[in-house]
Structure 1
Amino acid sequence: MANSQPPFHLSNPDLLQTDSFVHGSWVTASSGDRFDVDDPSTGQVFTSCADLDASDVDAVVKSSHEAFQSYRRENPRSRARKLLEWDRLIRANKDDLALVLTHESGKPLSEAHGEIEYALGFTWWFAGEAERVRGNISTPTAPKRRVFVVKQPIGVAVSLVPWNFPIAMVLRKAAAALAAGCTMIVKPSPETPLTCLILAHLAVQAGFAPGVFNVITTSLKNTPSVAEALCKHPLTKKVSFTGSSPIGSLIAAHCAHGLKKATLELGGNCPFIVFGDCNQNQALEALLGLKWRHAGQACVTSNRVYVQDGIYEEFLEKLVKRTQDTITLGAGTDPRTTMGPLTTRRSVSKAQAHVDDAVQKGAKVVLGGSRGSSGKTTGGYFFEPTILRDMDQSMLISRQETFGPVLGVYRFKSEDEVVGWANDTEMGLASYFFTKDVDRTWRLLENLEAGVIGMNTGNSSAAESPFGGIKLSGYGKESGKDVAIEEYLVSKTGTMTLEGHF
């Protein structure tokens, strides 16, 4: 059972809502059911949310469709002003928002604030893009004709978001949709529904009309059927999903019913390549920030670190020492914490399975290797920051996305060899490399099979940069100039024949 009072105090208590948000009102499930939300730092339930099921979906989609009839005609500057006001309100309430995010996801408060700042890049960016949707006019080869192309919002959009970055993933999708003139339904992860509900509360205050931004909360048990119902509803026109590749394949299959437009940002098993001629300190700083952020629970994090033979031992020694010196495991609310727990209990089991598999196949643990503790609490979902050496391509870490604080370090000799290993995965979200050879830099940019390439840098995701993967890491782009907002638009071609002399 959930506690009657949450284990934190908000400056604005009205922000904390636990029911779904539909057409400007807080609503419960038709069944009356609720599901629990726990704190990963303790494993203890601290609240519950309305558990909507597939039978509730029709009313939610119809609400968004009704709102779309008006919102699609709203002046782009009006939409931009509302996005900027939403941005301002989120900034004004960021301390409360970060505190809730830490309790539902487990990430340290400093990282929670970092996610909010990153997420606000999207509201700010797409507020500007709202007024920059452009069609075009052209003169075709046929005489006395003109061709017009106009861009219009596609309709009701559905956003299915994960638990690892629940604020950023909502705003990255919703800001683009709302700028384009679409209405949006968000289904947050059952682990992290509260921050999404806060965003809905602030969207109303920003001036968005009822039904423009709806939130449907649901349990882990009901998530598959609710997601399917949202994707297959005849009034849904666009679906954006962030999550694992296997679930992404299911979403794509659902969207095939009615030929729904879909954007899929799926899993990654990202290589991080360190050449002998690199700036080792630069590579280390990027790797530490990339890998241990949110306990390795990011799709763009590095699972596989390939280090060239000549600097392998030196770089590995520095990596272990810097990790020991900089990582303090603990509850996210403790200011000394630099790495919090995993968000789910099942993530702990997966991390341990990947470590055990690597050791059985010949790898050696040089740091960590097992379930951890915050030092103050028991029952949380902690796992030690773990570094494995002498890795090879046969191990699970080489084949699967770990999504935890486990790092495998591999030894390579040549560029051709490491490119082959880096690409030896079904996924293709991000790749990173560090070298001072300009020719090699260009070759790697073209030869690495990933949608996002970091060249002497770690995570490069930002509002102004197109983001998306290839292979089983999905299709479509989020963020960036023109491409992201295009995901929420349809192009309409008009051809006119003219009379007279031209």
Structure 2
Amino acid sequence: MTNPDLERKVLEAVPTGLLIGGEWRPAASGATTKVEDPSTGEVLAEVADAGPEDGMAALAAAHEAQAGFAAMAPRERGEILRRAYEAMIGRADDLALLMTLEMGKPLAESRGEVTYAAEFFRWFAEEAVRIGGGYATAPAGGSRFLVMKQPVGPCVFITPWNFPLAMGTRKIGPAIAAGCTVVIKPAPQTPLSMLALGQLLLDAGLPAGVLNVITATDAAGVMEPIITDGRARKLSFTGSTGVGKILLRQCADKVLRTSMELGGNASFLVFDDADLDKAVEGAMLAKMRNMGEACTAANRFYVQRGVAEEFAAKLAERMGGLKVGRGTEEGVQVGPLVDAKGREKVVDLVGDAVENGAQVKVGGRAADGPGYFYPPTVLVDVPKESRLNHEEIFGPVAPISVFDTESEALAAANATEFGLVNYVFTENLNRALRVSEKLESGMVGLNTGLVSNPAAPFGGIKESGLGREGGTVGIEEFLEVKYVAIGGLG
């Protein structure tokens, strides 16, 4: 239930400045930017709007803190992350409410994200003390190989608005565990969660300058000088493929290490031997998590002809029964999209599909009134040429197409420049393994609509990105390998 007094209290507790060198400060120019509630359009807060001067100050602070932090004992770095994890769990309700206010997702989903985000700190707290190395005799004898792993150095992170806490902890956790300092820029639509996280990490004992948070509306103007300066040694970005390509070009000049988690265009394959109830449940997870505003969201539904009508009817019934409203209200399951631009894109994509012959099973029309709401929508008979089949929707729309053969389904699923995740529902073990191997993506959800897990490697192939976040390989993105040849022992 909406509680204005509690909302005000939670908002007032969030720092609104820039975190640079362990201190909160205003932007050098004094500029601020407004953060709005996407369910009402009302202003929630004003935060500092950094300029290039602030960005360079943050980089200088990270660079200055790097040597000392790299020398900190791995156990001590792990304990900081452990304390941060416990603080996040202890403050889960306040953090969830803050996230719902600035991003729009229902409180239940926000609580789930807080737990998920905190798990990255717990996972990498344990990984901090497991950074390995090696010592071996050369094959010919006479010398030895010493292999050590060292922090890559100051890192630059750019995170999106759709998971404002988890996309931060997924990057910050392994960086801290590895001994790297950080400059992070959250999305201007949802900076409050990251600002709250910055204070939480300071309270957990993170040394000054290790984490620097800059909020900025002029992303290019602030971030390009940081990237091309030379003191930063790694960039990790989560966002659109178009922006990712620009950043890769900027990183090339200084040969920065990069991790890119970019766009997705996930297919959701339902074969005629699938458990349809399980498939519909998986579809609800894969499509409706975060109102469809996720790179992992099922974007294209391909259903085998024999079960297509039944699957569409069941999915339409489930999606049509969801309650839409402000995320703080009791029973709400679908919040608003993040802003007017996001809703306009969904309206355009659905309109294009319908004009090309798609049929609306449920939804299909933007809601009137305040806020950026769009109803859960199911479309059938979606033509191949529809933009819905080629562009990331980022909204609660499920376009369903029919296929006849396994090879046809695979061809359709792989007919995209993206390769983040695909979903497969089948009860046939041989088909499950065969299709999973042939799908061109970094991840596959097999009989499940949820693939994200801090203990698993998250990432894509093709134009969906480079590198992996999470799992045992996640910390490797933040470590350099140094080889020392030792002679005179033969």
Distance 1:358 1:9, change over 3 A: closer
Contact kept in structure 2, 1:10 and 1:96, CA below 8 Å: no
Residue 242 of structure 2 is matched in structure 1 by 246
1:481-492 matched pairs, under 5 angstroms: 481=472, 483-492=473-482
Contact kept in structure 2, 1:7 and 1:46, CA below 8 Å: no
Alignment match of 2:470 (pick from 470, 474, 479): 479
Structure 1 unpaired stretches of 5+ = 1-5
Any idea what SS the aligned residue of 1:9 has?
A: helix
**What is the CA distance between 1:43 and its match in structure 2?**
1.1
**For each residue in 1:271-330, what CA deviation from the matched residue of structure 2 results, as whole angstroms up to 9, or x when unmatched?**
0000000100111111112211211001001011111001111111111112223x1000
**What is the CA distance between 1:492 and its match in structure 2?**
0.3
Distance 1:13 1:409, change over 3 A: closer
**What is the CA distance between 1:8 and its match in structure 2?**
4.5
Distance 1:499 1:306, change over 3 A: closer
Contact kept in structure 2, 1:15 and 1:201, CA below 8 Å: no
> 1:390 and 1:226 mapped to 2: Cα distance?
45
Any idea what SS the aligned residue of 1:46 has?
A: strand
Residue 344 of structure 1 is matched in structure 2 by 339
Check if 1:268 corresponds to 2:264. Answer: yes
Contact kept in structure 2, 1:11 and 1:96, CA below 8 Å: no
**What is the CA distance between 1:466 and its match in structure 2?**
0.4
Residue 45 of structure 1 is matched in structure 2 by 43
**For each residue in 1:353-405, what CA deviation from the matched residue of structure 2 results, as whole angstroms up to 9, or x when unmatched?**
100110111111111112125xxxx3201011111100132110111101111
Structure 2 unpaired stretches of 5+ = none
Any idea what SS the aligned residue of 1:278 has?
A: coil
Check if 1:462 corresponds to 2:462. Answer: no
Any idea what SS the aligned residue of 1:343 has?
A: coil
Distance 1:499 1:122, change over 3 A: closer
Any idea what SS the aligned residue of 1:382 has?
A: coil
RMSD: 1.3
> 2:407 and 2:183 mapped to 1: Cα distance?
46
**What is the CA distance between 1:233 and its match in structure 2?**
2.1
Q: Residue 456 of structure 1 aligns to which amino acid in structure 2?
A: N
Structure 1, 33-42 or 378-387: larger mean CA deviation? 378-387
Contact kept in structure 2, 1:354 and 1:396, CA below 8 Å: yes
Check if 1:230 corresponds to 2:221. Answer: no
Residue 392 of structure 1 is matched in structure 2 by 383
- Tell me the TM-score normalised to structure 2 length: 0.97
Check if 1:434 corresponds to 2:425. Answer: yes
**What is the CA distance between 1:13 and its match in structure 2?**
6.7
**What is the CA distance between 1:27 and its match in structure 2?**
1.1
Check if 1:495 corresponds to 2:485. Answer: yes
Q: Residue 491 of structure 1 aligns to which amino acid in structure 2?
A: V
Check if 1:359 corresponds to 2:350. Answer: no
**What is the CA distance between 1:225 and its match in structure 2?**
1.5
Any idea what SS the aligned residue of 1:48 has?
A: strand
1:62-211 matched pairs, under 5 angstroms: 62-211=60-209
Q: Residue 245 of structure 1 aligns to which amino acid in structure 2?
A: T
Check if 1:306 corresponds to 2:297. Answer: no
Any idea what SS the aligned residue of 1:432 has?
A: strand
**What is the CA distance between 1:461 and its match in structure 2?**
1.0
Q: Residue 416 of structure 1 aligns to which amino acid in structure 2?
A: S
> 2:245 and 2:161 mapped to 1: Cα distance?
19
**For each residue in 1:429-461, what CA deviation from the matched residue of structure 2 results, as whole angstroms up to 9, or x when unmatched?**
000000111111111111101100011111111
**What is the CA distance between 1:101 and its match in structure 2?**
0.5
Structure 1, 152-161 or 22-31: larger mean CA deviation? 22-31
**For each residue in 1:18-51, what CA deviation from the matched residue of structure 2 results, as whole angstroms up to 9, or x when unmatched?**
1111111111111111111100000111211101
Distance 1:280 1:395, change over 3 A: same
> 1:462 and 1:180 mapped to 2: Cα distance?
20
**What is the CA distance between 1:227 and its match in structure 2?**
2.2
Contact kept in structure 1, 2:319 and 2:377, CA below 8 Å: no
> 1:441 and 1:46 mapped to 2: Cα distance?
47
Aligned residues: 487
Contact kept in structure 2, 1:271 and 1:303, CA below 8 Å: yes
Distance 1:259 1:168, change over 3 A: same
Contact kept in structure 2, 1:451 and 1:468, CA below 8 Å: yes
Check if 1:256 corresponds to 2:269. Answer: no
Structure 1, 9-18 or 408-417: larger mean CA deviation? 9-18
